[in-house]
Amino acid sequence: MKFGSCCIIVFSRYPKPGETKTRLIPSLGANGASRLQEQLTLHTLAKIQQFQQATGCDAELRFHGGTMDQMRAIFGKSVAYHPQQGSCLGEKLATAIESCFARGYERLIVIGADCPEIGSSHFTSAFESLSNNDVVIGPAMDGGYYLLGLKRPHAQLFRGIDWGGPLVFRQTAAIAKRLGLRVKSLDQLPDVDYPEDLIHCRRLGQAFDSVLPKIRKHTVSVIIPTLNEAAQIEKAIRPLLAYQNIEIIVADGGSSDRTAEIAEQTGATVVRSRPGRGTQMNAGAAVSSGEILLFLHADTRLPEGFPDTALNAVREGIGAAAFRLRIDGTSFGLRLVEFAVALRSKWLQRPYGDQGLAVRAEGFFRIGGFRNWPLMEDYEIANRLKTIGRISLLEQSSTTSSRRWDHLGTARTVLFNQLCVCAFRLGIPPAKLSTWYRRHTSPPKEADAVVTD
């Protein structure tokens, strides 16, 4: 397959520790973050080389930091190297594109080096789409774009853009529309900027084994998302320390109290991420090494012998498993809640986060983990987990605090929960639901409440 005179421009950086992938340093350290930058670039260049062999397309790497000799020493000689030129990303992109077209190319695409799932099919779609369109854009999940395709330079596309923000794709598409350009959008893909994004690298398995942890057989990683849980976190961690082959990861979303400090002193690994339960659990899972991932709320206590139970339950054909819910209050209303949760979990295969959700790591990464949502992330993932196997309800019970029900009242709490579910199914965004839910239901010191029944 040939596309005429075409070129792929890759934007990347010299992987110097402390100066690249800085938002990942809290999770990987400065050296780990730079090694990830290196591996992402190597992974991207390998995909480009496969495409080059099939199409004869040219490629060049526009780099920031380091020298050409340093870049060649790490990334080889399969592409041409040029330092980035310009004071901001928009200027750098415009300069690179104008330079390529000045050399006679008829079509080109620009990509970053931090989209691990990009491949030949995306390059092919982009170049093919340029036959009938002026601009091709590959939107990223964070609101930016991972690919931009053109058949002539349009410097206006790079002016007035809030680079690094969530509106880059929308702003670029709007400018193209104002210019009267025909725009084609490709499939949305994730890129890797924050700790939670690392699960997309884990999804590719061995490609990033040199940077991220390898899965250890017969090991359970207990992942606890926290936000201002200083009063609860030690109580959550201490019972887990009695077991072997257990990895304890606390994914903290920016606590203003001593949650993270207490967790580290107690013996857990602490990962710091942006707030939001789905975001935090993804960040914790991304640096885990367990064969089984067990997601646990800070106010939930697991039953005795839970590691063997989880390892035995999540076997071939079982997508995930959850414990029965036990609430530590004494009212009859809470017993009704437990009964309803058991029915929902067994017959609808829809457990919620406060039951303790166990899933095989390989399957979790394969489906892309949780959505990075502050609410409804456990409701949504159940539907995707069912595509890889049944969600089993275990006979043992986890015990969770009654603080949410005590604060609002059992009936009112259940009502709010069901209203959230209905609103979500009607299309209300989780971020908007979370704001509404917390305003009306969050007990004191619980800034990131989740929907539970």
Which phi and psi (to 5°) does residue 249 adopt? -125, 120
pLDDT of residue 447: 38
284 and 145 co-located in one domain: no
127 and 36 co-located in one domain: yes
Is 411 part of a structural domain of the chain? no
Mark which of 185, 200, 231 sits at the end of a domain.
185
pLDDT band at 26; cut points 50, 70, 90: confident
What range defines the domain where residue 105 resides?
A: 6-185
pLDDT of residue 445: 46
Q: How far apart are CA 413 and CA 397, in angstroms?
A: 21
Average pLDDT over residues 427-438: 89
pLDDT of residue 442: 61
pLDDT digits (tens, 9 = 90+) for 289-317: 999 999 999 999 999 999 999 999 987 67
pLDDT band at 3; cut points 50, 70, 90: low
Q: Which residues are 412's β-sheet partners? A: none
157 and 223 co-located in one domain: no
pLDDT digits (tens, 9 = 90+) for 214-255: 999 999 999 999 999 999 999 999 999 999 999 999 999 999
How far are the Cα atoms of 141, 251, 309, 377, 380 from residue 371, in angstroms, in the given order?
11, 15, 26, 6, 8
Average pLDDT over residues 4-26: 94
Q: How far apart are CA 349 and CA 399, in angstroms?
A: 19
Is 141 part of a structural domain of the chain? yes
The amino acid at 4: G
CB 204 within 8 A of CB 116: yes
Across the chain, mean pLDDT equals 92
374 and 234 co-located in one domain: yes
pLDDT band at 2; cut points 50, 70, 90: low
Is 422 part of a structural domain of the chain? no
pLDDT band at 4; cut points 50, 70, 90: low
CATH of the domain at 224: 3.90.550.10
The number of folded domains in the chain is: 2
pLDDT of residue 448: 41
145 and 226 co-located in one domain: no
pLDDT digits (tens, 9 = 90+) for 151-169: 999 999 999 999 989 999 9
394 and 259 co-located in one domain: yes
pLDDT digits (tens, 9 = 90+) for 90-120: 999 999 999 999 999 999 999 999 999 999 9
Task: Identify the CA nearest to 379 among candidates 411, 355, 413, 415.
Answer: 355
pLDDT digits (tens, 9 = 90+) for 119-137: 999 999 999 999 999 999 9
The amino acid at 440: H
CB 172 within 8 A of CB 145: yes
Task: Identify the CA nearest to 288 among candidates 359, 238, 361.
Answer: 361
pLDDT digits (tens, 9 = 90+) for 175-190: 999 999 999 999 999 9
pLDDT of residue 353: 87
**Long-range CB pairs of 175-182, under 8 A, 24+ apart, other chains included:** 176/134, 176/135, 176/137, 179/154, 181/134, 181/135, 181/154, 182/132, 182/133, 182/134, 182/135
What per-residue string of b and e applies to 357-379 under the rule 16 or more CB within 10 Å gives b?
A: bbbbbebbbebbbbbbbbbbbbb
Average pLDDT over residues 369-392: 93
